[in-house]
Chains A and B, each alone.
Chain A
Amino acid sequence: MDKVKNGKSMLNITDLHASIGGTEILKGLNLTVNPGEVHAIMGPNGSGKSTLAYLLSGHPSYEATSGEMLFDGQDLVNMLPEDRARLGLFLCFQHPTEVPGVRMDHFMRAGLNSVLRSKSLDEMDVLKFDKFLNSKVDIVEMDRNLVKRSVNEGFSGGEKKRNEILQMAIFDPKLSILDEPDSGLDVDALRIVANGINQLRSEEKSIILVTHYQRILNYVVPDKVHILINGRIVKSGGKELALEIETNGYDNIEQSLANDQHSG
């Protein structure tokens, strides 16, 4: 049914400025993501990558000071984070939070039922959800016992990342923002996470993959790559742009930008 939306973008960001605690981090960002596309956002530390992820998902510490963020045609700027989630916007956290005493599967069911409720759909009872969950755990080769533990408590770094991708599978969002899903992973874990992401790619769904390193893009091949430096997208291209970064580093781009400015 989402095919109807062909030609309409999933996400449209125009001249976005944003700050945290009064410090401007994003300084006029433009980005359009269409259904079915995977966009990689790359950039050095402190360039504003995580700010973008948090801003899109509605973290209360981040403030959009001007510009526009349209998700599936709806203005995100003043929308509550839970409403964004219910509309199908998902954030895969770089550092997922622990919630002691709350079982992971119960937590996911509570979230999913909130989403279903908002759409006036039937909620899932425990049995139905357990079946559903069981059908998804293999996507990230997840230990079935892990979901019976408290939310992210005592999870290893790799388990936390896999658990985030598992939730992406459970919530089946229209737009997923993956904030450094590769950080801290060894090669095997990286392959599992990337494999999970690839299984969730589809023509209707979009993914924004925020990463510092090109490595994960060998597995999750992006349609577009954007370089974010100092709060702006300074360069966009295809997957080859990521390889260029791998070879020459961000410094090189920053250097050439500086030169452009001098000559211009």
Chain B
Amino acid sequence: MTASNQVVKDVAAQEYKYGFVTDVESEVAPPGLSEETVRFISAKKNEPEWMLEGRLKAYKYFTTLVDKEQVPDWAHLRYSPINFQDIIYYSAPKQKVSLENLDQVDPEILKTYERLGIPLQEQKRLAGVAVDAVFDSVSIATTFQAELAKKGIIFCSMSEAVQNHPELVKKYLGSVVPYTDNFFAALNAAVFSDGSFCYIPKGVRCPMELTTYFRINTEGSGQFERTLIIAEESSYVSYLEGCSAPMRDENQLHAAVVELITEENAEIKYSTIQNWYPGDEQGKGGIYNFVTKRGKCAGKNSKISWTQVETGSAITWKYPSVILQGDNSIGEFYSVALTKGYQQADTGTKMTHIGKNTRSTIIAKGISAGHANNTYRGLVRVNPKAVNSWNFTQCDSLLLGDQCGAHTTPYVEVKNNSSHLEHEAFTSKVSEAQIFYCNQRGISTEEAHSVIINGFCKEVFKQLPLEFAVEATRLLEMNLEGTVG
């Protein structure tokens, strides 16, 4: 066996480092999904009547989909059916009724975030980054709220937003991803528990990165978060989410919905580093990640940019999309998806061009190792009135080893003849020649893989905010780490 084969094996067998469980007393709803569960969650959150009504409507719609067995099955994914009655839909660490400051947070939870590299104490905070920490079903703490409020920026948990900014939530929640959108969006709309809410007022450039860190802890629980970001006219925000979960033998479900709205001249930059537990070497356990993310460029000249680094989850089903409604608006999707072991990822984007002169860019990089399968699925739709629109798509795959798969499924629908679309794609393997060239310059085979893969991902990494680009590189290296035999 050559050294490079050894590394490929090591890559495939790399262990998950965030797999610990936090011992914390939680308030947990009994497993199972019913109208009662929905009412329980809503009551727990002391929600107004209109929220409960919305949830119940979504729940009823979801049950009709379950009855008709309309679980989406078009993705290139294989997994045993999810039993929605086995899942815990609400789990919250017990804490005092109101949190005045972080001293009142369970020290075990604070320690958890420290171990994950996300200190919540403001004196230890990451410079210039505000964090919302979501633990199972609830938001634990949001840092820098006061400082942001001075500029009129609202950054809080979704539960708080429902209480304190009901008019905004009512106006925008479900306006981009209605509960009827798809199976998992319907489920989320019924049972979502928490998530982040950001509102950037007109003309404000958010002075720091906003971050939400999602952590699943309780056994058997699902996480159904809901994130809503609104950028008013001529505002700007850069937002990042991270996620992890303990190692468990059974699969856990994560079904989130994220909605973004940009008004005229506004810009949202949304970055994700997804590191949910991927399952063990045999493919046992891991998170089922079924996420609906969509942004609407509602105003002219507005811009939404998605950047994702997907390294975790047993199953990833995720298509961060942009509706380009305002004239001259811009949508971007930059993605790195690394699958190893028995991970499966079916991910991509949908760019819907509605306004005139709208532009979209798609750069997707899939890396597959072990027995993993990695699919890019994308749709570029240009409506008749979206004249002079432009799209560039590039989807590349890199294979490490010969047991893994890479698939590309791009769809294109153009309804006018003034638009311009380009598509590029290639599939390659890390070649022996590349490894040897690195070796000959003193670089070990393991480091060579990391150098080559980082090079492959460069166009995407350079889109990330600097400190997160470093984090993404480190995460990728960690996933590729192993000793050369």
Contact = CB atoms under 8 A, between A and B. Distances in A.
Interface of A: 57-61, 80-82, 85-86, 90-91, 93, 96-102, 107-108, 110-112, 114-115, 118, 150-151, 167, 171
A91 B442 CA distance: 11
Interface string B314-325: 000000000000
Contacts of B438: 99, 107, 111
B109 interface: no
Interface in B106-122: none
Contact of A96 (B3, B4, B437, B458): B437
B455 A150 contact: yes
A183 B171 CA distance: 70
Interface string B429-466: 00111101111111111010001101111110000000
B436 A59 contact: yes
A97 B2 contact: no
Nearest to A57: B440
Contact of A100 (B2, B432, B455): B455
B451 A102 contact: yes
A132 to B, nearest CB: 15
16 contacts: A60-B3, A60-B4, A80-B444, A85-B439, A85-B441, A91-B440, A99-B434, A102-B451, A107-B441, A110-B447, A111-B441, A111-B443, A112-B441, A114-B441, A118-B442, A167-B441
Contact of B440 (A85, A98, A118): A85
B439 A58 contact: yes
A107 B447 CA distance: 11
Interface in B126-153: none
Contact of A97 (B4, B431, B445, B454): B431
Given A60-B436, A96-B437, A101 B458 contact: yes
Contacts of B455: 99-102, 150-151
Interface centre among B442, B443, B451 (most CB of A within 10 A): B442
A110 B436 contact: no
Report which residue of B4, B433, B438 has the largest number of chain A beta carbons within 10 angstroms of its beta carbon: B438
Given A93-B437, A97-B433, A167-B441, 9 more contacts: A59-B436, A82-B443, A97-B437, A102-B458, A107-B438, A107-B451, A108-B441, A111-B438, A114-B443
Contact of B436 (A81, A100, A111, A114): A81
Contacts of A151: 437, 455
Contact of B444 (A82, A98, A167): A82
Contact of A111 (B4, B431, B432, B442): B442
Contacts of A102: 451-452, 454-455, 458
B378 to A, nearest CB: 21
A59 B445 CA distance: 12
A25 to B, nearest CB: 17
A110 B440 CA distance: 12
Contact of A114 (B431, B447, B457): B447
B458 to A, nearest CB: 4
Given A82-B443, A85-B439, A101 B3 contact: no
A102 B431 CA distance: 15
A78 to B, nearest CB: 12
B437 A99 contact: yes
Contacts of A112: 441-442
A100 B441 contact: no
Contact of B439 (A81, A100, A108): A81
B2 to A, nearest CB: 5
Contacts of B436: 59-60, 81, 97
A147 to B, nearest CB: 14
Report the 3 A-B pairs with minimum CB-CB distance, sorted nearest first: A101-B455, A111-B441, A102-B455
Nearest to A112: B442
A82 B456 contact: no
Contact of A110 (B434, B451, B457): B451
Nearest to B462: A101
A98 B426 CA distance: 15
Nearest to A88: B442
A151 B431 CA distance: 14
Contacts of A81: 436, 439-440
Contacts of B433: 97
A61 B436 CA distance: 10
A213 to B, nearest CB: 24
Contacts of A167: 441
Contacts of A58: 439-440
A181 B17 CA distance: 47
A118 B444 CA distance: 11
Which of A57, A96, A110, A167 lies at the interface centre, i.e. has the most chain B CB atoms within 10 A of its CB? Answer: A110
Nearest to A115: B442
A101 B453 CA distance: 9
B442 A114 contact: yes
A60 B443 contact: no
Query: A96, A101, A118, A171: which has the most chain B beta carbons within 10 Å?
Result: A101
Contact of B454 (A82, A85, A101, A114): A101
Contacts of A93: 437, 440
A243 to B, nearest CB: 32
Nearest to A116: B442
A241 to B, nearest CB: 29
A101 B436 CA distance: 17
A151 to B, nearest CB: 8
A100 B437 contact: no
Nearest to B450: A110
Nearest to B2: A60
Given A59-B436, A60-B2, A101 B457 contact: yes
Given A101-B454, A110-B451, A86 B442 contact: yes
Contacts of A98: 434
Nearest to B444: A82
Nearest to B445: A82
Contact of A82 (B434, B442, B458): B442
Contact of B3 (A80, A86, A99): A80
Interface string B400-439: 0000000000000000000000000000000111101111
A63 B436 CA distance: 15
A80 B484 CA distance: 11
Contacts of B454: 101-102
Contact of B434 (A60, A91, A97): A97
Nearest to B448: A82
B456 A100 contact: yes
Contacts of A85: 439-442
Interface in B365-385: none
A99 B441 contact: no
